[in-house]
Amino acid sequence: MESTGSTAAATVAELVLARWGDHRTGLRFAEGRLSHHQVTAGAAARAALLADLLPRHGEPHIGVLLDNTPEYPLWLSAAALAGAAVAGINPTRRGAELARDILHTDCAVLVTERAHLPLLDGLQLPSVRILVTDTDAYAELLAPYAGAKPEIARSVTPRSRMLLYFTSGSTGAPKAAICSQGRLAAAGGSLVGHFGIRPADTHYVCMPMFHGNAVIADWAPALAAGAGVALRRRFSASHFLDDVREFRATYFTYVGRAVQYVLATEARPDDRENPLRVGFGTEAGAVDAARFEERFGVRLVEGYGSSEGGAAIQRSPDAPPNAIGRSAPGDDLAVVDPQTLDECETALFAADGRLLNGATAIGELVNRGRSPFEGYWRNEEAEAERLRGGWYWTGDLFYRDADGYLYFAGRTDDRLRVDSENLAAAVIENILARYEGAAAVAVYAVPDPVAGDQVMAALAPPPGIPFDPLDFAEFLLSQPDLGTKMAPSFVRVVERMPVTATNKVARAALRGEGFRCEDPVWWRPPGSSSYRRLARPGLTELLAQYRAQGRRDLLDP
C-alpha cells in the first residue's frame, strides 16, 4: 500500500518548506500547472516581499480578495513562511461592509485581482497597500524577489496566527475566527490519516478559499500529504465532472447545497467513470448523499465541525443513515437545553424512523471539555457569548440516540415553534428531500397570524419540470415520519435556491421575504390538505389576519 506521505509538522510553514525540491505536479488550474517546488518558490518570493511591505510595529495581517486562482494558495503559503495571517475577504460583501471586514482585521496589505477592483471603488482604506495580481505592476513588484530561497521567519511558532476567517451569523457583523498555524497543520494531518490521503492524490478545490472549509478541509490535508491541488475559480455544477476528469481529482470538499446542484445536472451514462474516491463536507443530507453515490460511485462523508473549531464530529461507518456520528473519545459533547442547562432527553423513534420527542430531545450542541477554539479577532463580546459558562456553545441544534449517535437538526435560529411544539428545520428538510420534484429544498419559519410560527419551504424543481402542488400534497401524505405540524403551510417555488457565497442557503433573506416575494407561492390554508396559489386576494385576506391580531409588523425583516 502506498504511503500517505504525510509530514508530521508543528506549523504550516514547515509543511510548505517540505515541498521544496519536489518536482511532481503540485497545483493544477485552467491555465496550466506548477510543481510543488515552483509553488514553494513562489511562496518564498511573496514571503520576502511581505517582509518589506508589512509595517514593523503593526499586525502582520494581509487580506486576500481573490477567486480560487493560483495566487490564493501561493499567498497562503507565503503568509505561513512569513509568520503573517491571511484574512479571507468575501467578494459578495459590498461598500461599507466590505471596508469594515478589511479594516477590522487590520490588513496592511490587500491582495486582489482586476475583476474585484470595482468592489473597492470609493472605499476608505487608509494605509492599506493594494496589490493587483493580474497586472504588470504586480509582476514588476515581485520580480526582484524571484530568487528568494524559502525560509521560515524566526517569529513563527505553532501559536502564530495563520487564518482570520469570517463566520456569518443571523445578526450582527461577521466575526473573524482565529486559526493558528499549529491548529491548521494538525487539522490537515488528521484528515490525511482519516481518509488515507496519498501523495498521488489530487484535491479538487471548488469551494471558495476565503471560507474555512476549502482551506482547512481541502488545501491543508493536501499540503500535509504532499498531494496535488486543482483549482476551480468559482464553483460550477455543470463543469464539476469535467473538471474532476481533467484534473484526475480523487478528493473534494463541499458545503451546503453544492451537492444538490451537481445532482440537478443532466445525468450521463458514464457518470460513474471518474477518478473520485471520496467527498467530504456538510449539509448534503442522507438522501442526496445516497443519490450521489448511486450516480457517481463516490462516497460522501458527512462530517460536522463548527466554523470556529470548537466542536467536531466525523461520521463513522456504522452510524445510522441520518446520524453524523459519535463524539470522539475524550470529547465531552452534550445536547443541552439552553434555558435549564440540563441535557436533553434521549431521542425516541417510531418504527418508521420518525423522531417522537423532538420538543424535548432537540437542543444545542455544546463542548463541555477542552475546546480548540482560538477566539475571535477583536471581538471579546462574541467570544464570551461563545464560551459562556465555561462551555463552548456551537449554535447548532442536535439530538442524540440511545447509542450515543448525534443527529444534526439545524442552526439554533432555524428552530420553529408550531402550535407550541418545537421543530427543527433540518429534520423537515431531510423528509422533503425525498420528493423527486425537488432539486433543492430549504425550510424556515414565518410568523403565524396568532402565535408562534408556520412552516415555509422554498423548493427548486429540477430543470424543465414544473411544480405540481397536487403531487406535492400527495407526497406529504405518504411520508410516515412527517409529523402533523411539519407540513409546509407555504411553498415558495424558486428557479434556483438562493445561497450565500459559500453555497449555504440564504435563510435570512428567505425568512425576511416570507410569502411576500416575487416567486410563485402556494398556500395550504388551515384545515386543508391541498395547496392553492397565493394570489393577491388571498394575500390581502392573510395580511388582514395578521393585522387583526397585532402581528403584522412581524412580517417585516
- pLDDT by position in tens, the chain (length 557): 344 455 578 999 999 999 999 999 999 999 899 999 999 999 999 999 999 999 988 999 999 999 999 999 999 999 999 999 999 999 988 888 899 999 999 999 999 999 999 999 999 999 999 999 999 999 999 999 999 999 999 999 999 999 999 986 544 578 999 999 999 999 999 999 999 999 999 999 999 999 888 999 999 999 999 999 999 999 999 999 999 999 999 999 998 678 988 998 999 999 999 999 999 998 777 788 889 999 999 999 988 888 788 898 877 778 887 788 888 766 799 999 998 999 999 999 888 777 888 889 989 999 999 888 999 999 999 999 999 999 999 988 899 999 999 988 877 777 787 876 778 888 899 899 999 999 999 999 998 887 778 999 999 999 889 999 999 999 999 987 787 788 999 999 999 999 887 778 888 889 889 999 999 999 998 878 899 999 888 889 889 988 887 777 778 75
Residue 349 one-letter amino acid? F
φ, ψ for residue 229 (rounded to 5)?
Answer: -125, 135
- Ramachandran angles phi, psi of 220, nearest 5°: -60, -45
Enclosing H/E stretch for 228 = strand 228-231
Rounded to whole angstroms, the Cα distance separating 409 from 425 reads 7
- Between the alpha carbon of residue 298 and those of residues 219, 237, 468, 482, the distances in Å are 20, 16, 31, 29
Write out 151-199 in H/E/C secondary structure: CCCCCCCCCCEEEEEEECCCCCCCEEEEEEHHHHHHHHHHHHHHHCCCC
Rounded CA Rg of the chain: 24
Report how far apart the first and last C-alpha atoms of the chain are (Å, whole number): 57
CA distance 427 to 455: 12
Of 135, 130, 91, 90, the residue nearest 107 (C-alpha): 130
Give dist(CA 250, CA 192) in Å, integer: 13
Complete domains list, the chain, with CATH: 12-305 (3.40.50.12780), 327-418 (2.30.38.10), 437-555 (3.30.300.30)
The contacts of residue 487 (CB under 8 Å, 6+ apart) are 455, 476, 524
User: Are the CB atoms for 217 and 282 separated by under 8 Å?
Assistant: no
d(C-alpha 217, C-alpha 202), whole Å: 13
Q: The whole model's pTM is what?
A: 0.82
The answer to whether 522 touches 531, Cβ cutoff 8 Å, is yes
82's grid cell: 512569513
What's the burial of 511, exposed, middle or buried (CB within 10 Å: 0-12/13-18/19+)?
Answer: middle
The dihedrals phi and psi of 205, each to the nearest 5 degrees, come to: -100, 100
User: What is the Cα–Cα distance from 368 to 322, expressed in whole angstroms?
Assistant: 24
Give the largest CA-CA distance in the chain.
75
